[in-house]
Amino acid sequence: MASNKKITELPELSEVDLAADDVLAIVDISKGTTHKIRKDTLASALSGVATIIATSPIARDNAIGNVTISLGTVPVNKGGTGATSASAARSALGLGTIATQATNSVSISALAMNNAKITGLAVGTALTDSVTLGQAQNASMNFAQDTGGANAYVIAPSPAVTSYVAGQVFYFDADNNNTGATTLNVSGLGVKAVQNNGSALSASQILAAGLTGVIYDGTQFQLLTVNSSNFVTAVDAASTATALAIALG
């Protein structure tokens, strides 16, 4: 047994020299007391700890042999945040109050872009997604090819519309001319009448392969576009009437 030796003079044991249930002595130099702890308990307590600073407090529980080591804060230059609270960590990391992480989303306030651009955005596929400039230019959000039949048009914009809301505008490329009263079904939400200033459509107000625009008024769709044949016919009729009036004096 070693006697009258300094701790630094005692032989050092390596982990391979110790069994899991071997008992080690822990000396509290400040109090002049010695305590015991199992090797596997100490190893578990120190798991993941690379270094222990000299001022780290060590708490022990004699009843169950647990050792708790509190490292306080880990400096930023050591890979930590230098803080013990979220707000202090943001400040230490230079984030200020811009970003607050909450599960899988980030809330951003008072963000100055300084003429920077947000790039690399994916194409939005849900109503809560952002829109790319390409999507806006392509107008894929409110334009679609008709897949229905004459007088019963069907479109499916992308992303899908989840409900009808007054003021919504849609454009579609019709597959057939209409022959009378007409309906439109958007994203499978249900059939709504298409009217012209509150009246049912007459024949050929929607033409096959022609661009048709509608706006939802809260009850049904109102036609926004006038096909060229109807417009020409109306102009021709007006011109003819004017010419006859001039000729007849």
Looking from the CA of 104 toward its CB, the CA atoms found within 13 Å total 0
CA distance 244 to 249: 8
Identity of the amino acid at 74? V
Q: Looking at the structure, do residues 36 and 58 belong to the same domain, yes or no?
A: yes
Residue 13 within any structural domain of the chain: no
Enter the pTM of the model. 0.50
- Whether 96 and 48 map to the same domain: the answer is no
- Residue 91: inside a domain: yes
Helix (H) or strand (E) holding 99: strand 99-102
Task: Cite the DSSP H helix spans in 108-227.
Answer: 133-138
Residues 215 and 158 in one domain: yes
In a domain, 240, yes or no: no
Query: How many domains are contained in the chain?
Result: 3
- Inside any domain, residue 131: no
- Extract the tokens encoding 240: 């003819």
For 118-144, how does the pLDDT look when each residue is reduced to its tens digit (9 = 90+)?
888 888 888 788 888 888 887 778 899
Residue 117 lies in a domain: no
- Using only C-alpha atoms, what is the Rg of the chain? 39
Single residue among 55, 90, 108 that ends a domain in this structure = 108
Residue 139 to residue 132: CA distance in whole angstroms: 11
Do 51 and 85 belong together in one domain?
Answer: no
Q: Does 50 map to a domain?
A: yes
Give domain status of residue 114, yes or no.
Answer: no
Q: CA 243 to CA 237: how far, in whole Å?
A: 10
What are the E-state strand segments in the chain?
23-28, 33-38, 58-61, 66-69, 99-102, 105-108, 143-145, 152-155, 169-173, 182-186, 191-196, 199-200, 211-216, 221-223
Domain that includes residue 90, residue range: 76-108
On whether both 64 and 89 belong to a single domain, the answer is: no
Distance CA 219, CA 164 (A): 9
The tens-digit pLDDT sequence of the chain (249 residues) is 556 666 566 676 666 677 777 777 776 655 667 777 777 777 776 665 555 544 445 565 555 555 565 556 777 777 777 777 777 877 777 776 655 555 566 666 666 777 888 888 888 888 788 888 888 887 778 899 999 999 999 999 988 999 999 999 999 999 999 999 999 999 999 999 999 999 999 999 999 988 999 999 999 999 999 875 554 444 455 555 555 555 555
Residue 82: burial class (beta carbons within 10 Å; 0-12, 13-18, 19+): middle
In this structure, the answer to whether residues 96 and 151 fall within a common structural domain is: no
The verdict on 158 and 217 lying in the same domain is: yes
Q: Specify the DSSP element, H or E, that contains 143.
A: strand 143-145
- C-alpha–C-alpha distance, residues 37 and 25, integer Å: 6
What's the one-letter identity of residue 238? A
